[in-house]
Amino acid sequence: MNVQVAKKPLAEALQTVERIVPNRSANPGVNLVHVGALGDGLRFSGTSLDIDIETTVAADVRGDGALALPAHVLGQVVRALPADVVSIDVEGSEMAISSGSFSTRLQIVDPSSAPKVSFPSEYRSTLSAGAFVKALDHVRYAAAVADYQAIFRGVKLEFHDGTGRAVATDGFRLAYRDFGDAGGLTGEMIVPARSVEEIVKAFGGSNVDVEPGEGRLSLQREGVRLNVKLMDGAFPDYRRVVPQTFPVQITLAADELRDAVARVAVMADKTANNRVDLFVKEGTLQITAEGSYGRSQESIDVRQEGSESEIALAYNAKYLMDALSPLQDQLRASFSGSTSPSVLEDPADAAYLAMVVPLRTG
């Protein structure tokens, strides 16, 4: 195999693979990238065992070949190359890479020593650029992180009646975001939150072709394919925990609340749930926090509605900040009670909903 290829796209294709393939692994061969010749390019593939990755790059390729190499070594060599064009020659047990006055000979590894990675031959659905990835990105903070939290560590994808939704919850908070067109898909699946992060990074801003498979979801765009392993288990019925009646509702700029909570929370006691207190009355939202260093407070004018004239609540400041993070414009905060869930939404865009359970106080 003899290849001429531009350095920049080659380096990018390898960097995408290196995001998934570990530099070191207890499992033999998992640190390797498969390199294969296509008619008009090179294909790189590898796996973290939870996620399979394949990238392709256009290249002038003569001859055939399939081999494996430590992914991070190959990536490091390519990134450091001095010239814009790279020549690759595979001879015997070595891959020779030369560029400008630099050359290197890398030891090839038998590709059968790396885990086999395969991708669907067909991707039957396409999800629209932005909306799908944005939905994943906006809800993933609400997924649990601790091992024992099992299925709560996943993000659920629902495809019903032609529309899609991403949902995550850890039992104390919940977020969902609808992404409109379901691309003809139906049914449900649960993607590990850590894999969701990789999907967001690999597919931000692109249309995504998807193909559900046995225990996995496959995704592709021009030049990049991913398989992510799905989670087994039943996701809780989150709909029934979202309250429907709210004695107090307020509307204000999302930014204003975010900034005020960030300022006041400096005083919050990190060992006591990072607590901030909210008090709504007569069109004023007062935010306070108290800890061993002192006490902070800030007031914001809000539009207040509802059957009750006031309400007092406490939250974990981090949970409140996370829930606010996807909201850019107006925010409607709907309080069902001092100890029952609160709902945060953009009144002009029903796609995103965040729910936060207040702290039990006093």
- Based on the shown chain and the rule CB under 8 A, indicate whether residue 300 belongs to the binding site for a copy of itself: yes
Identify which of 47, 50, 48, 43 has the alpha carbon closest to the alpha carbon of residue 14. Answer: 43
Any idea what DSSP says for residue 152?
G
Draw the binding track, 30-69, toward a copy of itself (x: CB under 8 A; -: no contact): ----------------------------------------
Helix axes 254-264, 317-324, angle to 10 degrees: 160
107, 113, 186, 245: residue in contact with a copy of itself (rule CB under 8 A): 107
- The count of residues interacting with a copy of itself (CB under 8 A) is 33
- Based on the shown chain and the rule CB under 8 A, indicate whether residue 83 belongs to the binding site for a copy of itself: no
Cβ-based burial of 187 (10 A; exposed 0-12, middle 13-18, buried ≥19): exposed
- Containing 344, the helix (H) or strand (E) segment is strand 342-346
Q: Which of residues 182-201 bind a copy of itself (CB under 8 A)?
A: none
6, 58, 73, 200: residue in contact with a copy of itself (rule CB under 8 A): 73
Identify which of 146, 159, 148 has the alpha carbon closest to the alpha carbon of residue 194. Answer: 146
By CB under 8 A, which span of 20-28, 72-80, 158-166, 272-280 interacts with a copy of itself?
72-80
Length of the chain: 362
58, 85, 262, 357: residue in contact with a copy of itself (rule CB under 8 A): 262
Output the six-digit token pair for 262: 């960030």
Residue 109: CB atoms within 10 Å: 18
Residue 25: CB atoms within 10 Å: 15
By CB under 8 A, which span of 21-29, 187-195, 197-205, 294-302 interacts with a copy of itself?
294-302
Quote the CA–CA distance of 324 and 59 in Å, as a whole number.
45
89, 259, 305, 308: residue in contact with a copy of itself (rule CB under 8 A): 259
- Based on the shown chain and the rule CB under 8 A, indicate whether residue 92 belongs to the binding site for a copy of itself: no
By CB under 8 A, which span of 130-138, 198-206, 216-224, 289-297 interacts with a copy of itself?
289-297
- Containing 79, the helix (H) or strand (E) segment is helix 71-79
Quote the CA–CA distance of 138 and 177 in Å, as a whole number.
7
Cβ closest to a copy of itself, residue 219 vs residue 265: 265
Locate tokens 């709210």: which residue? 246
- Based on the shown chain and the rule CB under 8 A, indicate whether residue 270 belongs to the binding site for a copy of itself: no
By CB under 8 A, which span of 196-204, 261-269, 337-345, 354-362 interacts with a copy of itself?
261-269
Provide the minimum distance between the beta carbon of 267 and a copy of itself in the complex, in angstroms, as a whole number. Answer: 6
Provide the minimum distance between the beta carbon of 266 and a copy of itself in the complex, in angstroms, as a whole number. Answer: 5
Cβ proximity of 312 and 324 under 8 Å: no
Cβ closest to a copy of itself, residue 95 vs residue 166: 95
Cβ proximity of 43 and 59 under 8 Å: no
Provide the minimum distance between the beta carbon of 137 and a copy of itself in the complex, in angstroms, as a whole number. Answer: 26
- Based on the shown chain and the rule CB under 8 A, indicate whether residue 297 belongs to the binding site for a copy of itself: yes
- Based on the shown chain and the rule CB under 8 A, indicate whether residue 94 belongs to the binding site for a copy of itself: yes
Q: Which residues contact 133 (CB under 8 A, 6 or more apart)?
A: 199, 200, 203, 204, 205, 206, 208
- Positions in the binding site for a copy of itself (CB under 8 A): 70, 73, 76-77, 80-82, 94-95, 100-107, 259-260, 262-264, 266-267, 292-300
